[in-house]
A and B are shown apart, each in its own frame.
Chain A
């Protein structure tokens, strides 16, 4: 991620964060209505408006729910999502998680990783045992997320966040990624994004 890009993203986020505080969720809104807010960022058609935002369409329900819960508890820190999750009840979070899990995973048509990146990733995947939890193909299940086909910039950002213990809601992922080098994370992001 270039620093120019980072700045745009931050600005955008700030804009939406403000916009959102006024969109507080009404108790009576249906899940369909509540989900509309999410689409503003995560994409009307499932492709997020910014590559550093994650795809959530077709992600596993258990995983989506736990992230919303962690945003609400503050165990996972993100200015935007912390604000959004604040107003959600457990039922809302479960229903939103179900709603998005039932959508079709969106193909972002990201380029395949270079041979060098594939080679580097394969070594990292063996040493980090990524396949044991995320599956050989990276599609995950239950509370373990799909990572294959996820947006490249988001993958890289969130892995770096785990590694730096900025993302703190899974110490185990932090430990694993802590044993890898920054270049490994770049290769892995290319690898899983383009898979």
Chain B
């Protein structure tokens, strides 16, 4: 047996985690109800559909169904952002990774924490209205921290998916649980960290588990009853595809097609344990009744020998019918991925220039590869891809036992962090990571729902790491501006009609940039990693910006437990 390096397994990127002591591990379901609440109104489908133009509420994890994260209020703008001050700080009970996108409905804010706590807060003051702790089942299996990215709202309900793979509906006024549904079996490696999306009486939800040999899906449940409406399996029974030898940008992936074909003949289609998680929200197009989402990596991550074929639809943009879950189209970025450079950042629907410069409906995705991909929404086809936002080296060298160095590292590029756009400037904003890693392969058979990486990603301790905030013109693919940050970036970004872009850093800095030029106009030290997507809302005529500062488990950024809301000083 070749002896392996004794060197640090450091960082394994997202591989590590689970566990993390008992902090915040709810022993029993508990609800604390305060005596008063805000002017809670029922969230109608019409409100949800018009969210892109709603300068008061923040109704969707990524702002609106198109997931633009472009907030239409301009009260806080380039001219006055320097006067932005904290209005209130709320401290949750759980000091762990915060990835929640605060949702705001008529002055009531809903945030979630690690281990599936939900808080309803008075959005004016930060006062707690109620607090719900999920009673966690005995079996939770998750690769990258006990995270949760927030709730979806509809009617009088608040929806959250849990680490033990359940979907819960809570009464928005009281935080009492109305129903729960088991989405999938956690014993097989399924877990939930994403916020659900609600549309037309359906709750849409994907799954984690690409590191555990699951078979991924997107499911739709009835908002009232929790009954399953449809399932789309992200891995079809024929997952082999076309034996693509090049990635979507035309680079050769050094596949050994003959060896794969021989393996296929021997072991058959690997679809049952092929991974393909969907752990970020879909974009919804109500006009065509389609949803667009990205599908994650194949299992096991680094070992392709056990999974011959293109591994459809892993590492792909996929569109399905909203009402039936029927397949519409897909585009695979990387066939037979062995680097975990999959597709995770949520897609955005917006008008883009096609190859002839004509405006058409397009879909954007920020790839772990470091490219922004621009698609035709009609057939998912690729119109263009942007300049690389991070250094790329040695692509696509195959993982080896001793480890092969390649850039970007396995976190990307762009991690799960949602992008934001400014449709007036034709710019999309992404946050990036530069983390040099070596890719190691170590084959093992399917371990029945246990961690299954087929090797390891190791950060190279001697090499410098950093991050970027990057603005890309999606009509040309050119980088308009780029700002380097001290640490790799993970969390999210918000653009506003006030000509601003907000995003936070691992060192606790929360910053506002000029959307056109990238100049840094304002900053605030939050005391813990700002690694969550910001939201904005307006109550009593006052616009707020709000963000969680709780650090990050996956890349071990300083933990905290603050939700911080900012508004202009009087």
Residues of A within 8 A of B (CB): 60-62, 65-66, 69-70, 73, 75, 94, 97-98, 101, 126-129, 132-137, 139-144, 169-172, 174-176, 178-181
Contact = CB atoms under 8 A, between A and B. Distances in A.
Given A127-B7, A132-B19, A142-B19, A73 B138 contact: no
A14 to B, nearest CB: 28
Nearest to B553: A132
A129 B6 contact: no
A66 B21 contact: no
A179 B455 CA distance: 12
B323 interface: no
Contacts of B9: 127-129, 176, 179
A175 B22 contact: no
Contact of A169 (B10, B17, B450, B455): B450
Main secondary structure of the interface of A (DSSP, over half): helix
Contacts of B12: 129
A175 B452 CA distance: 11
Contacts of A139: 21-22
B4 interface: yes
Nearest to A129: B16
A133 B140 contact: no
A65 B139 contact: yes
A140 B140 CA distance: 12
B216 to A, nearest CB: 20
Contact of B6 (A60, A61, A180): A180
Given A171-B452, A179-B5, A180-B6, A66 B139 contact: yes
A73 B446 CA distance: 13
Contact of B25 (A141, A172, A176, A179): A141
Contacts of A142: 18-19, 25, 136, 138-141
Contacts of B141: 142-143
Given A126-B8, A129-B9, A176-B9, A98 B18 contact: no
Contact of B18 (A143, A169, A171): A143
Interface string B120-154: 00000000000000001111110000000000000
Chain B: number of interface residues, binned into ranges: 35 or more
Contacts of A176: 9
B6 A181 contact: yes
Contacts of B442: 171, 175
24 contacts: A61-B138, A62-B140, A126-B8, A127-B8, A129-B16, A132-B16, A133-B17, A133-B19, A133-B20, A139-B21, A141-B19, A141-B21, A142-B139, A142-B141, A144-B19, A169-B448, A169-B450, A170-B450, A170-B451, A171-B442, A176-B9, A179-B4, A179-B5, A181-B6
B444 interface: yes
Nearest to B556: A132
B139 A171 contact: no
A60 B25 CA distance: 12
Interface in B1-46: 4-12, 15-22, 25
B140 A179 contact: no
B453 interface: yes
Contacts of B18: 133, 141-144
A61 B6 CA distance: 33
B550 to A, nearest CB: 17
Contact of A172 (B5, B7, B139, B450): B450
A134 B16 CA distance: 10
B16 A171 contact: no
A179 B9 CA distance: 8
Interface in B403-456: 442, 444-445, 447-448, 450-453, 455-456
Kindly list the 6 A-B residue pairs having the minimum CB-CB distance in the complex, ordered from nearest.
Answer: A171-B444, A135-B21, A132-B16, A144-B19, A61-B138, A62-B138
A60 B140 CA distance: 11
A27 B497 CA distance: 67
B19 A140 contact: yes
Given A75-B448, A178-B4, 16 more contacts: A60-B138, A70-B448, A73-B448, A129-B9, A133-B17, A133-B20, A134-B19, A135-B20, A141-B20, A142-B136, A169-B447, A171-B450, A175-B442, A175-B456, A176-B9, A180-B6
Given A98-B138, A135-B19, A143-B140, A172 B8 contact: no
A58 B137 CA distance: 16
B520 to A, nearest CB: 33
B56 to A, nearest CB: 40
Contacts of A60: 138
Contacts of A170: 447, 450-451
A132 B187 CA distance: 21
B4 A97 contact: no
A141 B22 contact: yes
Contacts of B447: 75, 169-171
Contacts of B445: 171
B57 to A, nearest CB: 36
B450 to A, nearest CB: 5
A73 B445 CA distance: 15
A132 B450 contact: no
A65 B140 CA distance: 12
Interface in B252-271: none
A140 B25 CA distance: 12
Contacts of A169: 447-448, 450
A104 B306 CA distance: 43
Contacts of A75: 447-448
A144 B449 CA distance: 13
Interface in B323-382: none
